[in-house]
Each structure stands twice: as structure tokens, then as C-alpha cells.
Amino acid sequence: MKKLFFVLIFLAAAVVSYAQDVPSDYPKDLPKPVSAKFISSSSELGAVTYTFESELSPQAAFDSLKADMEKNKFVMNSQGNNVMSDAGGMVNWAKDDKIAFVVFSRKDDKITTIVIAYK
């Protein structure tokens, strides 16, 4: 019985740590970039900045995030597709009174940094 208790505690801790790959206050309507690892967050001037890293190219990360943002009813600015490439870029989305400004940059040949400023 004691073993079962410890196994259940371990499993519960594993589920909680897996579920919290982003901060608990991460906005529910803001999609997490697919295949990205959460790195950090910070708050300044009323906006929260979330930093992720991904093995996807900036363009592939953008394409994936774009689909998820549209599913969540965010609208991309009209110039959004013009500022993205495999080297990186930036785009912003709006939903109601919220704005998500996203920068994609290739750190090296393997890692893309994705920074989302959300206000």
C-alpha cells in the first residue's frame, strides 16, 4: 500500500510538471508554438514576453503558429506574410483588445527563437 501511494505521488508530480511547460498564468487563448520548448517569461510595461526555442525553421514555426492563432480568432496584420522568411521575421496579431507581437529568429542552423510579447 505504501508503494502504491508513492507511485501515485510520483505520477501526479510528473503530470503536473509536464502540464506546466509554460507558466500557469499563460493566456489560455494564446497558442503555444508547436514543437517549441518554453524558455522564460518576463513582464514589463503592461506586456508579458514569452520566449520559446524550436528546431523548426522560422518560416515553419510561423506557419504552424499562424494556423493556431487563426483557430483562436486572432487576426494577423495585413503585412504579416511580407516580413517572414526562413531567416526570421516578425508579425503581430490582434484579438479584441489583446495584441500578440511575435518575433522569429534563427539562432544557428538548428534553433529558432520565438519571442511573443502579449498585451
Q: Which residue has the cell 496584420?
A: 77
Q: Is the pTM of this model over 0.95?
A: no
Averaged confidence pLDDT in the chain? 83
Yes or no: say if 70 and 77 are a contact pair by the CB < 8 Å rule.
no
Yes or no: say if 93 and 100 are a contact pair by the CB < 8 Å rule.
yes
Give residue limits of the domains in the chain.
2-118
Residue 92: what are its φ and ψ, rounded to 5°?
Answer: -130, 150
**Is it the case that residue 6 has pLDDT exceeding 60?**
no
* Average pLDDT value for residue range 48-54: 96
Side chain identity at residue 31, one-letter code: P
Length of the chain: 119
Grid cell digits, residue 116: 511573443
Grid cell digits, residue 78: 495585413
Q: Which residue has the cell 500500500?
A: 1
**Is it the case that residue 34 has pLDDT exceeding 80?**
yes
User: Which pLDDT score, from 0 to 100, does residue 27 have?
Assistant: 95
Query: Which secondary structure element, helix H or strand E, spans residue 71, and what is its range?
Result: helix 58-71
Q: Hey, which bits of 14-72 come out as E strands?
A: 36-44, 47-54
